[in-house]
A and B are shown apart, each in its own frame.
Chain A
C-alpha cells in the first residue's frame, strides 16, 4: 500500500475515543427510548418463540428450548444492534449529517473515525446482548456469572458485524440498498448458524457452509458459555471472529477514502 493508504490508518491508539464519546453523548440524550426500542424486539422473540415453540419442541441438545434459544438471541441481538447502528446511524453521520466531514477537519484520520464507530457499535451490542442475558438469567435459564462470561464474545460479535456493515455503507449509494444486505445476508445467517435451531438439522453441505459464517462462530462460543459447558475449539472461533472484524475494517477504510477523500 502507498503512503496515502497509511495516512488513513488510526493515527494513534486513543484518537478513536473522541468519536466514541461523541456518539455516547448523542445516545445519552435518547437513551431511554433507544433502550426500549432496541430491546423490545429480541425480548419479545425470546419469550414468544421460547415459550410458544418450546412447548412443541421439547428439549434441544440436552436443555430446554428457551435456554437453547436465549444464547442464540444474545448472539442475534449483538449482530443486529451493531449492524443497525452502523447501517443507519453511522451512515447518516458519514453522509447527510456531515459529522465525519467535520471530524476530518481536525487531526483525526479516517481510520480513527471508523475505529471509533466500530467500538461504539460494539458497545451497543454489549448493551443489547447483556439485556437479553439478564432476562434469561432472571427467568432462571442462565446463571448470572455465565452472562458476565459471555460479554467479551458479545463485544467481539458486535465488532464483527459493525465492521461488515461498514463495508456495506462504504459502498451503498443510499439507504435503499441496505435491504439487500439484511435480507440476503443477515436473515439467512440467523437460520444457518444454529441461533434458533441446531445446525445438525441442516443438510451436510449447508452445515459446512454455515461453519464459515461469523454468526456461527459467535453462537458456538456464546451458547456453551451460557449453558456452562466447555466450548469446542474456542481459539478457532475467536480467531475467525477476529479475522471477520479486522479485514472489513481495512477494506471499508480504503473504500471510504474513495468515497469521501477525492
Chain B
C-alpha cells in the first residue's frame, strides 16, 4: 500500500516482558478510513499492541509507523493526530463533563476559546448535551464511555485507537457506542479497536486480525474469514454424553469441536445431523449461522471468552 493511504503499519514487531513473549513477529497494515480489529482473548497481546502504537511501550524489534510517523521515535508527533479510548476510564471524576473536555483540550495546546467552540458538537455527538455541567462521578458507565470517546475527539484526530471500547457495558450502552463509531467511520476516521467480543468485531470491523498468545492466526474481512474457515452451518449441542454424540454424528459433520459442555458440529447439511439426534433425551440443540467465535474455535481449539 502507498504510505499516504496507510494509517498504521506494523512490520515484524516483537515484544517480550522478561521471558514472556507478548507479541511475536506481528505485521499488519490499516488503511485510512478503515475500521481494523485486533481480536483475541485476554492476554493475547492486544493492549500491548495498542500501547506500542501510541509510543508508550517500545518494541524489542520490528518497525511501527502511525500516520506516516515512525513510532516510538516520533510518537509525540503522531499522537497529536490520534484519539485514544483506553480500556479503563481515566476521566477526571471530580470534574464536570465540560471541564473534562476543557482540561484535555489544553493538553493539546488548544485555547479555552477553541475548546468552547468544539465542545457543543462533541457533547451532542456523545449524547451528553444535558449532562455538560454534571460531575463525571455521577454518570453511568455508558455515559462515561461516551465522554471518553468525546474527549478522544477533542483534537479532531485522524485515527482513533480504542482498547476494548465496550467491555463492561450493558447491551443498550454497547449498541449506542457502536452506532457512534459507525458515524465516525462515515466521517472518514480510521479506527483501530481491540476487542474480545465477536459481535463487536463482526459488526464494526472492515478487516480484522485474530490473535492468540501474541501471534497472528488469521487476518481478513470478517465474512471472508468465516467463509474460509467454516463455510457451513453450525449446530451447538448441550447435554448428553458428548463422546457418544460425537461418534453418532461424525459421518454427517464436516468438523466437530468440543468446548466445555458444548459440542459444536459444522455441517453442510444440518438436517442430516438433526435427524440422528432425534430421540436423544435431555439434549438442547441450537442451529445458527457460523460466526467469528467458530473461526477462533476452529483455529485454536478453544472458545474465546473462556
Contacts and interface: CB of A to CB of B under 8 A. Distances in A.
Q: Do A and B bind each other?
A: yes
A104 B79 CA distance: 9
Interface string A106-117: 111100000000
A26 B95 contact: yes
Interface of B is mostly: loop
Contacts of A19: 107
Interface string A20-63: 01100110010000000000000000000000000000000000
26 contacts: A4-B58, A7-B76, A11-B76, A15-B109, A18-B103, A18-B107, A19-B107, A22-B103, A25-B95, A25-B99, A25-B103, A26-B94, A97-B90, A98-B88, A101-B90, A102-B86, A102-B104, A103-B107, A105-B82, A105-B152, A106-B155, A107-B76, A107-B107, A107-B108, A108-B107, A261-B56
A229 interface: no
For chain B, which range describes its interface: under 10, 10 to 19, 20 to 34, or 35 or more residues? 20 to 34
A102 B103 CA distance: 11
A25 B101 CA distance: 13
A262 B86 CA distance: 16
A109 B79 contact: no
Interface of A: 3-4, 7, 11, 15, 18-19, 21-22, 25-26, 29, 97-99, 101-109, 260-262
Contacts, number: 67
Given A97-B93, A106-B104, 9 more contacts: A4-B58, A7-B76, A11-B76, A18-B109, A21-B106, A98-B89, A105-B54, A105-B79, A105-B152
A107 B76 CA distance: 5
A3 B58 CA distance: 12
Contacts of B57: 261-262
- Pairs A-B, 9 closest by C-beta atoms: A98-B90, A106-B107, A105-B84, A18-B106, A102-B90, A22-B103, A107-B80, A18-B107, A101-B90
Interface of B: 17, 54, 56-58, 72-73, 75-76, 79-80, 82, 84, 86, 88-95, 99, 103-104, 106-109, 152, 155
Contacts of A15: 109
Nearest to B93: A97
Given A7-B72, A7-B73, A261-B57, A106 B108 contact: yes
A140 B157 CA distance: 58
A107 B109 contact: yes
B67 to A, nearest CB: 13
A11 B109 CA distance: 12
A260 B99 CA distance: 26
A29 B76 contact: no
Contacts of B76: 7, 11, 107, 109
A3 B75 CA distance: 12
A253 to B, nearest CB: 15
A46 to B, nearest CB: 32
A26 B92 contact: yes
B250 to A, nearest CB: 49
B95 to A, nearest CB: 7
Nearest to B86: A101
B94 A29 contact: yes
Contacts of B86: 98, 101-102, 105
A15 B107 CA distance: 7
A22 B101 CA distance: 11
B205 to A, nearest CB: 22
A42 to B, nearest CB: 26
B79 A107 contact: yes
Nearest to A103: B107
A29 B137 CA distance: 14
B19 to A, nearest CB: 15
A19 B108 CA distance: 11
Contacts of B104: 102, 106
